Amino acid sequence: MNKYKFWFVVGSQDLYGPEVLKTVAERSAEMAEELDPLDEVKQLIASGVDKKTALAQVAKKRRIPKRELYNQLISEGEGISE
């Protein structure tokens, strides 16, 4: 099976007003929560967040054990140095 990578980008315009912008932000957050948490960790790392902090942030936000995400990183060759 092919493994595809999808990027999720959301935007709106200020002219629609604060309520619409708030709704767009809420709905995009709901959709993003369905994306792969490991990709979220990797994106944080790519943006300059250290690996341990990125792992902790995503695990806490998604209520996933840190060890589970850590094991996934190791299986992809992306271990976290102690």
Structure tokens belonging to residue 67: 């060890």
The predicted pLDDT at position 29 comes to 74
Structure tokens belonging to residue 6: 């999808």
Question: Would you kindly state where each structural domain of the chain is located, as residue ranges?
Answer: 16-75
Asked if residue 64 lies in contact with residue 37, where contact means CB atoms within 8 angstroms, the answer is yes
Residue-wise pLDDT tens digits, 36-45: 777 777 777 7
Structure tokens belonging to residue 47: 């943006």
Is the entire prediction scored with pTM above 0.75? no
Residue-wise pLDDT tens digits, 54-65: 888 888 888 888
